[in-house]
Amino acid sequence: MTTHPHTVRQRAGFRSLTPGQLCFGLFSIFCLLLILRNSDTAIDYMNRGLRLCAKTVIPSLFPFMVISELIVSGGVGEVVFRPFAPLFRRLFRIPEAGCCAVMLGMLCGFPVGARSAAAALDQGRLTREEAERVLTFSNNPSSAFLINAVGVSLWGSRAFGVALYAVVLTSQLLTGLLFAHLPRRAEAGAELPAPSPPVRARTGAAFFTGAVRSACAGMLLVCAYVIFFSALCGTLNLLLDALRLPAAAEATVFCLFELSGGMSAAAALQTPLPAALLCAFAAGWSGLSVHCQILSVCDGRGLRFRSYFLAKLLQSLLCVLLLGGLLTACPGLMLPGRTV
């Protein structure tokens, strides 16, 4: 009996799927069934995601994306952050362009750090290995989000927001320090700089319009992921309610998928210390929605993201340990009446 060639190709194609492809394929099927089963809820949460983008995400992020694009494309960032460059080169093994991306990520939040690293890679200012190293510790929630949205709005304590931001920055630098000195397997072409595109002389106006255009495209991607994961988390909430999971388990699931919803679910927990530690975990991990944004920003550049995901997992654990120690020493950092 002869086997049809098309059938052979289909079977070989299925067996040739990588673990990542298989994982995301199954995840896609799960999302499809979940959203089809609860389409009304999905539409309602997509509307919430649109309002979140209009009221919070775009106003708080878009100006920073334009400014960071101007700083990187014009080369100003390397001049401004040059005093930090020798220290970053010695500790984290990255050049001035990498220092600029990390500092912008610390100040402006994600995905500004990733966009800056990708732009420096495109311009030949970073090698592929250096760009991968920068990605491991340049993408965190912004100070405005952690201090105002989490500390003030969710916890009623600016001091807690400041402490959470300090913990995130500390864990970021510790993660970068560790991954900078881990032995890496040499790969052909890993240290070669990325090919630089032809550079044409541009006026200041051209720099500005190009930065706005690039930031607009990046902003559209960010909003798309926020809307999708809002619908996913809304429908997932129905499934978790049906399973009658503990509130802490539900909050943990939300933290894995989406940062804002995870923070809200964690802060709503009745026991204060687990709630605070789960917020720290969410701040360090940042959520699958943010990771998808980072992957989209860096798409098409041949970057490997295994180190990035390992670094985010490590950073989330460091955030939990650091905040736990800090709250044990200073329990008054949390909302009065919600002390450890």
pLDDT of residue 323: 93
Q: Measured between alpha carbons, how far is 340 from 333 in angstroms, rounded to an integer? A: 10
In which residue ranges of the chain is pLDDT below 70? Answer: 1-17, 19-20, 24, 72-75, 77-78, 183-204, 333-340
Instruction: Print the domain residue range for 302.
Output: 37-182+202-333
Tell me which residue of 139, 158, 164, 137 sits closest to 278, measured CA to CA: 164
Q: Note whether residue 193 is domain-resident.
A: no
Q: Note whether residue 139 is domain-resident.
A: yes
The letter for the amino acid at 99 is: C
pLDDT of residue 334: 61
Q: Note whether residue 192 is domain-resident.
A: no
pLDDT of residue 6: 53
**Which pTM does this prediction carry?**
0.78
Q: Note whether residue 236 is domain-resident.
A: yes
Q: Note whether residue 259 is domain-resident.
A: yes
Q: Note whether residue 188 is domain-resident.
A: no
Q: Note whether residue 11 is domain-resident.
A: no
pLDDT of residue 175: 94
Report pLDDT digits (tens) over 98-155: 888 898 888 877 778 888 888 888 888 888 998 999 999 988 888 878 888 888 888 8
Q: What is the DSSP string of 29-58?
A: HHHHHHHHHTHHHHHHHHHHHHHHIIIIIH
Whether the ω angle into residue 141 lies within 30 degrees of 0, i.e. cis, is: no
> CA angle, corner 207, sides to 204 and 211, nearest 5?
145
Report pLDDT digits (tens) over 235-278: 887 887 788 878 888 888 888 888 877 888 888 888 888 899 99
Q: What is the mean pLDDT of the chain?
A: 80
Structurally, the chain folds into a number of domains equal to 1
Q: Note whether residue 189 is domain-resident.
A: no
